[in-house]
Structures are given as structure tokens and as C-alpha cells.
A and B are shown apart, each in its own frame.
Chain A
Amino acid sequence: MKCQHCDRQAVFHITELETGEVRELHLCEDHARSYLNQSEAASETPAGKPSGSGTPLGVGQTAEELSVLDQKTCGMCGISFFEFRNQGRLGCSHDYVAFEKELEPLIANIHGATEHVGRRPRQAAAIVMPAEGTEGLTRLIGLRLEMKEAIAREDYEKAKENRDLIREIEETWLSPSAASPTPPEATP
């Protein structure tokens, strides 16, 4: 993850709890040091406002923007962008679609590019590769999660429905012996 103030790697992840407000900060070593020094100085001043808005770093604004992004979640695996930023690991391959806008600057920063130009998986007999890649198959991740939730709230009808749908998709698209002419989206 990048530092909020420069292009370096964020190595300090700070959670500020002030006046009922939670604020996340992701900073490189240098920016973390200057931020921490500042908040120390601020807390020493009796009349000092909490080190929030108005710091020369413009932290408040960035944090606000980030908090909006953070609430976004993936419809398949359920991970929020906030969780990804904290862990540095994505939840499933659908995240690249769900968070495409958010990931784009990050990926551009890491690789200096935003388009894959290398190899592609060859279309196998049993596994049809739709035009949008294997994105259609990520639906199974969401269906499984829904099924688990349905079982938890004892909605067995919904759970059974999902189980059948999962089986159908798996049998049609994923068994090594299967070969079907219709793309996965066509399944009900």
C-alpha cells in the first residue's frame, strides 16, 4: 500500500480515535514520524485542537475520501476495500472488477502499467473462456456465501436453491469431462 502523502510504501497504519470519530492513516516512515511529532505537539498545547483537520498534511480530506472508498464491498466474497487496504490481500478474483476504479491507481503505481500484454490461458475443451475472462465463474463464490448465510438463518429453501444452482454451474462448466456450447451467463 502507498503512503497517503507520497509514493513510498506505507509502513505505519494508524487508527485515530477522537471525539467519537475513527480515522485511518497509512503513512511511510517519514510522514508517520512528522505526523506523530505533530500530534504530540498538539496534545501538549492545552488549547490545542485534536490533530485532525487543518494539519498541513491535509490528512482529514484524504481520510474522508478514503472512508467513502473503504465502505465499498465485493458482491461475491464480501470483502470491503477497507479490509483489503489493511491486509494488502484481495478476497477473490471478482475484486478486480468490483474495485476496478480504486485499484487502478494502485496498480499503475506498482507496475507503471494498467494493461496485461502477456500470455492468456488457452481455451480448454471443457472450460469455455468467455470474452470477459473467467469473471462469470466468480458467481459461484457469491452463491456459496449466500448459501452459508441462508443455512445460518435456517432458510433451507434458499440454501437448497443455491446448492442446486452451484451444482448445475459446476457440472456444466467445471467437470473435466464436460464440454458445453453455452457460456456460463446463460445458466439461470
Chain B
Amino acid sequence: MKIDTLTDAIGEWLRGTGPESDIVMSSRVRLARNIAHFPFVSRASEQERFDTEALLRERIAAAPIGGSLEYIDVGHLEEIDRQFLVERQLISREHAEAQGARGVAIDGREQVSLMINEEDHLRIQCMHSGLDLAGAFEQIRAVDEEIEKVVPYAFHPRWGYLTACPTNVGTGIRVSVMLHLPALVITRQIDKVFRSLHKISLAVRGLYGEGSQAMGDFYQISNQTTLGKTEEELIEQVGDVVPVLIDYERRAREFLVRETQENVHDQVSRAYGILRTAQTISAEETMQLLSRVRMGVLLGLIGDVTIPDINVLLVRTQPAHLQKIRGVELDTNDRNIERARYLRHHFEGGTEPAN
């Protein structure tokens, strides 16, 4: 059903459009919400989880936004389909691996996703391509306001929105931007940048990665605190630092072109060469090489590939995507062979028209 239609579609954050999209992949805002009269998910009985899911699913479906959402019963999905939704950033890894009644409602553009029974009863997420935190917040606020009319959110005048983990209490908001910072990695400035981000209490994580080891030079910057500041202030906290990071990355890219043009050109050309000719290749290596090619395209060193094209390859070469496209389950070895085949075929067939 919907999962298969998603395979052919392109998610919002892969669109490769929006402000500063040469560096900012996507902007995301998420809200953690709970229903006052049910225990939090980890404490709830099977029946209570079921009731919580039913209540939220029904009331969201009946709200005005319900008409534009597709509901997926994550509790009854095959593992590969759950993994697919994780790769697509529509559900979290925790949600995929959890037990019991749970689901996700997604809009057709893959901008809005509402996870039911994750760590909290409801996790609303809104993702926009490029740098657009204000737009993402405006959209998520409208969704939140619709739902609060029909569901009694757990709220306390002093503590704000009540969450299963005290790290999310208050606004329940997590604001994040995903940045592509290859030049800061190559020029070895990235650690310095991250240390300074930690000092202003911002968290840094890699794309897909749980740890700090980012794959393919993609990094997610987000707020760490949720209480004692307004939503707008927390958005500003993240938003204010982005132009600075963009500026650093641009300067590092200019430096690379100015000082080491041959080296950089060589690196991105080799990366492109491997992607077009490899016979077996891991997901990690693919990400790393695509990251370099992406930079090469932006620096004008590679002419016949577009940014949206690379963004799409980034996700379609992930394990679950690859298997969904191929239509069979594959072990790691076969996936690596299939991934290489997919990449060769993609580059041979020329690129899709640029947008």
C-alpha cells in the first residue's frame, strides 16, 4: 500500500530546494505531547497502549488535518518496512524497534509526520527542505493547535507540556537543522566548531547515526534544553548559529578551491569514478562518496549531476530502500552488489532533469 507508493516518491528533505540548500539539507521541528489520562508509553499496559493509539488515531483522523494524512499501523509492519520509514526520517529508530500498538500518520509531501506511542504518546514532526525553521514551526503549530482541541494534552502550569523523559518537559520542542559540511571536515575544523556549539548548549548528531560519528559529513544541530525559554527563543537559538556555520563552510570550500584546486578536483573525481564503476559497495562508503560528489557539484567541478539527484541517491542506497526497490530481501553481501549495480545503472542512464 502506501509504503510502496513512498518508494517511488521523493521525501521533503530530499527535494534539495529551499534557502541555503547547498549546505542546509533540511529544517525540522518536533513536539512531544502526551494525553493526560493515560500512563506514559513505557508504563502503559498493552490495553492502555492500544486505547491510546485508538484515541489519537481516531481524533487526528477526524480533525481537519486528518483528510490530508495517511495512517500506517507500524505495529503490524514488516521489519523492512519499518526500517524504510526510519531511512525516510518519518519515524525514529526507537519507534521502529518498539513493541505494541503504535503508528504514524504522514502527509503526502512527507513534511508532517505524527508518531503515536513512541517514547511519548504523540510526537509531531514537521520537516522542510533547506533552511526554513520558521516555516516548519508555523506548520507544526497549526497541526498542534488542531489536535489540542480534541485531545487533553498533559499540561502543568509550572512544568509546561509533560513528557515521559524530563529532558523534553516544558515546550517539548526539538528544533534541528541538517547540514552538509564536507569542507569543514576536510580542513579539519569540524571538531572546533562542535566544541563551540556544545558550549552554547546545542547538540550535534550525525545523519542516521546515534553517536557523534556522522556519516557522509551530514550533521544535525539541535537544541538541548526545552524548559524556561519560549518556542520562538529555542528556534532562534538554533537558527542564529546556522548562518555562522554556513559562512564557515562556504569559506572552507573557497579555501579548498583556491589553495588545493587539483587535490579537491582529484578527490571528487575519484569519488565519482568509484560510484560509477564499483561492483560492490557498502552503504557507509556510498554516503561518504556521494558527500564528496555533492561538494564537487556545488563547486562546479562535476557538471552532469544535480543536487536533488544526489539527495535521492543518498536515501535510495540505504539498505531498506534498496531492497524495496529491488523487491526482494537481500543479505549484506548481496545488498552491496545490488547497491553498486543500482549506482552504475543510475549514472549510465544519465541524470533526471534538473529542477
Measuring CB to CB, which residues of chain A are less than 8 angstroms from any residue of chain B?
A: 76-77, 79, 87-93, 96-97, 103, 106-107, 110-122, 124-127, 129, 131-135, 137-141, 144, 148, 170, 173-174, 176
Contact = CB atoms under 8 A, between A and B. Distances in A.
Contacts of A176: 59, 62, 150
B135 interface: no
A91 B39 contact: yes
B115 interface: no
A93 B156 contact: yes
A54 to B, nearest CB: 33
B150 A118 contact: no
Contacts of B161: 116
B208 interface: no
B226 A111 contact: yes
B213 to A, nearest CB: 18
A40 B157 CA distance: 49
Nearest to A145: B39
B50 interface: no
B40 A96 contact: no
Contacts of A113: 170, 225, 227-229
B293 interface: no
Contacts, number: 149
Interface stretch (B14-22, B30-38, B187-195, B280-288): B30-38
Interface residues of B, number: 46
Interface in B135-183: 141, 145, 148-167, 169-171, 173
A127 B152 CA distance: 6
A103 B154 CA distance: 17
Given A122-B148, A134-B155, A141 B38 contact: yes
B43 interface: yes
A176 B62 CA distance: 10
Given A107-B159, A129-B155, 4 more contacts: A89-B164, A90-B43, A90-B164, A116-B170
The 8 closest A-B pairs by CB, nearest first: A113-B228, A116-B160, A134-B36, A93-B154, A91-B43, A137-B36, A111-B227, A140-B37
A127 B147 CA distance: 12
Given A110-B167, A138-B37, A141-B38, A116 B158 contact: yes
Interface of B: 34, 36-40, 42-43, 45, 48, 59, 62, 119, 141, 145, 148-167, 169-171, 173, 225-231
B149 A112 contact: no
Given A111-B225, A117-B228, A174-B37, A89 B156 contact: no
A110 B166 CA distance: 8
A69 B45 CA distance: 25
Given A118-B231, A121-B148, A141 B39 contact: yes
Contacts of B38: 92, 140-141
A173 to B, nearest CB: 7
B166 A112 contact: no
A83 B292 CA distance: 47
B225 A134 contact: no
B148 A134 contact: no
Contacts of A87: 42
B36 A93 contact: yes
B79 to A, nearest CB: 24
Contacts of A144: 48
A119 to B, nearest CB: 6
B167 A122 contact: no
A96 B228 CA distance: 16
Contacts of B149: 122, 124-125, 127
A96 B162 contact: yes
A96 B159 contact: yes
Contacts of A91: 39-40, 42-43
Contacts of B148: 121-122, 124
5 contacts: A117-B230, A132-B156, A134-B152, A144-B48, A174-B152
A79 B36 contact: no
Contact of B227 (A92, A97, A116, A120): A116
